[in-house]
Amino acid sequence: MTTVGVPAGWPATEEEARAVQDRLRGRVVLDEPGPPPGTGRVTGVDVAYDDDRDLVAAAAVVLDAATLEVVAETTAVGRISFPYVPGLLAFREIPTVRAALDALPCPPGLVVCDGYGLAHPRRFGLASHLGVLTGLPTIGVAKNPFTFTYNDPGPGRGSAAPLLSGTEDVGRALRTRDGVKPVFVSVGHRVSLDNALAHTLALTPAYRLPETTRRADALCRRALQEATAGAAQEASMRQAPTS
């Protein structure tokens, strides 16, 4: 497990964070197809928080894209680097997510974020932000549509409907299981929307959420439990009377 500090110069206010989004948004690449689904490696990233202890844990889990078997996994724990502000969640997550990715013993391939890319009020969600900073192909697969609207896709697996901000198409509501509510897919960086949908379907052979997300979620929760237990033990030892 890697321990992470808040990076020097990291935005401290909403104004500073939005200025960073404005500066980096123009670097998003939307005209590359990305790696073919079912080939190479694909990596899920996710985070878990303990706000009371000011801790965030991130996990990166690399899967073989053809078999969905785990190739490598890493975790990182650090201090929460930004307050909770809708639309600026990337600033809470990126330092620890990057540390987890940097600790991997192999290239991550496509990175799947539990969140948004282009489907973001400022068109620069976590998947886009992480992709620009790392240069990696990224997509976002979210559990809910955030502030966007959509018509319910057909009931069968693979059915999709546009995810809309007014009349602007920012992603897809994608049915990954027959009769189960959809997930919400958007491009992040260096991947086309068609490929993002195909990757999401390839990663959901048995459940609504991608295997990348499911495994990264479980791993970051375990890492947070270990970190909070360690923090509690240290606090107890500091408070214990000395003889």
Q: How many CB atoms lie within 10 A of CB 133?
A: 17
Residue bearing tokens 């009349």: 167
Pick from 213, 142, 205, 201: nearest CA to 171: 142
CA angle 139, 140, 146 (to 5 degrees): 155
114 assigned binding-site residue: yes
Q: What gap in Å lies between CA 128 and CA 189, rounded to an integer?
A: 5
Burial class for 221, CB neighbours closer than 10 Å (0-12, 13-18, 19+): middle
194 assigned binding-site residue: no
State how far Cα 158 lies from the chain centre: 22
**Which amino acid, 12?**
A
**Three-state secondary-structure class, residue 82:** coil
CA distances from 194 to 20, 30, 68, 159, 191 (A): 28, 12, 20, 13, 8
**Three-state secondary-structure class, residue 184:** strand
Please give the annotated binding residues, written as ranges.
Answer: 46, 114
Residue positions forming the annotated binding site for Mg(2+): 46, 114
